[in-house]
Amino acid sequence: MRRLIPTGEAARPVAFAESPQPVPEPGEALVKVEAFAPNRGETFLLEQPRPGLLPGKDIAGLVVQAAADGSGPGIGTRVVGHSAQAGWAEYATVPTHSLATLPDTIDSVRAAALPLAGTTALRLLRTAGSVAGRRVLLTGASGGVGHYLTELAVGAGAVLTAVTATPARGERLAELGAAVVHDLAAAQAQGPFDIVLESTGGPNLPLALSMVRPGGLLVWFGQASRRPATLDFFDLLDGPEGVTIQHFHYAGAPYGSDLEVLVSLVEQGRLHPEIGRISDWSETAGTLVDLRERRIRGKAVLVTGGQR
């Protein structure tokens, strides 16, 4: 079968290779991949790939071999899944605890856009607690996580301010109910905020922290700028008192129950995957470069053929 493997080249980070079809462990299903969605964090791993790296976490497709232990969906079931790696291929094995069944109303393209970004948004909101009526600031909002988080938070009653790099990247966020600003200096006029969800790092982290109300919460969930952040203790003394700073990372299987929630929300029309590009997987290398360089709004999805 064909799969995509790292090349270590910045301009062409992956290339096709032939490999044996994977053999599932007892608690895994074999899925014929119809669509997959790369994440920006995966593009960074491809810059200096570790030996043996087989990229690909978010997939959707058809179960062609059910798990030997009897768990999970049966043969012929359409699924969305989130695995540790190896999803950018014609076939992939996925633990059954990290699969969710798809209804006929959700195609593989939209489903593939859900797992990592959608689960991150869902778990991040749980970490933040109740947002109803609370003022929330979200930085780095124009990617896949930001669109899901905006729709979920606004739907839960948050008064959300979203920070994006350009007006064009914020158009859909405004449609979803966010007040969109294009730099943190502009966000200061909207503050202070009960909750700040910070994903860019670098100099933005201390600036965002200064906008939290006394006793509020800052959740740090990314460093998209790829620049280290420094917090000065004496600046904290002059800032809002009693602020909680919490680190967040989405990872932790099982993912199946959260995927079921996301699928249900899409089916009910309460969550809408924002997909900025849909391409054949022969165009994966160029798509990864554009994703890395932030030239794609929302999610990118690659299709292998035969998707529904």
Q: Which amino acid makes up residue 282?
A: S
What does the DSSP 8-state code read for residue 283? Answer: G
CA atoms of 174 and 165, how far apart (whole Å): 14
* Cα distance between residue 270 and residue 262, in whole Å: 9
| C-alpha count within 13 angstroms, C-beta hemisphere, residue 171 | 5
> What CATH code is assigned to 121-247?
3.40.50.720
Q: What is the CATH number of domain 2-114+273-303?
A: 3.90.180.10
* pLDDT 10s digits, 259-302: 999 999 999 999 999 999 999 999 999 999 999 999 999 999 99
pLDDT at 306: 52
pLDDT tens-digit map of 68-119: 999 999 999 999 999 999 999 999 999 999 999 999 999 999 999 999 999 9
Q: Structure pTM?
A: 0.95
C-alpha 169/C-alpha 5 separation (Å) is 30
Contact of 112 with 281, CB cutoff 8 Å? no
Q: Which pLDDT belongs to residue 70?
A: 95
State the Cα angle at 76 between 54 and 91, rounded to 5°.
15
Q: Which pair of structure tokens corresponds to residue 28?
A: 């895994």
Do residues 278 and 8 touch, judged by C-beta distance below 8 A?
Answer: no
Distance CA 127, CA 41 (A): 21
Alpha carbon distance 221, 208 (integer Å): 13
pLDDT digits (tens, 9 = 90+) for 26-84: 999 999 999 999 999 999 999 999 999 999 999 999 999 999 999 999 999 999 999 99
**Average pLDDT rounded to a whole number, residues 134-157:** 96
Contact assessment for residue 194 and residue 216, using Cβ atoms and an 8 Å cutoff: yes
Please report how many Cα atoms fall inside a 13 Å half-sphere around the Cα of residue 14, on the Cβ side: 28
Write the pLDDT tens digit of every residue in 179-203: 999 888 888 878 899 999 999 999 9
Q: How far is 307 from 120, CA to CA, in rounded Å?
A: 25
Determine if residue 93 is left, alpha or beta; phi over 0 gives left, psi from -120 to 50 gives alpha, anything else beta. Answer: beta
The pLDDT assigned to 308 comes to: 44
Residue ranges per domain, the chain?
2-114+273-303, 121-247
In the predicted model, is pLDDT for residue 307 greater than 70? Answer: no
Closest listed residue to residue 27, CA positions, set 100, 123, 82, 93: 93
Percent of the chain's residues with pLDDT above 70: 99
Question: Is there a shared CATH topology between the 2-114+273-303 domain and the 121-247 domain?
Answer: no
* N-terminal to C-terminal alpha carbon distance within the chain: 21
Nearest alpha carbon to residue 134 among 71, 219, 76: 219
Q: Are strands 299-303 and 28-37 parallel, antiparallel or unpaired?
A: antiparallel
The token duo for 55 is 């990229």
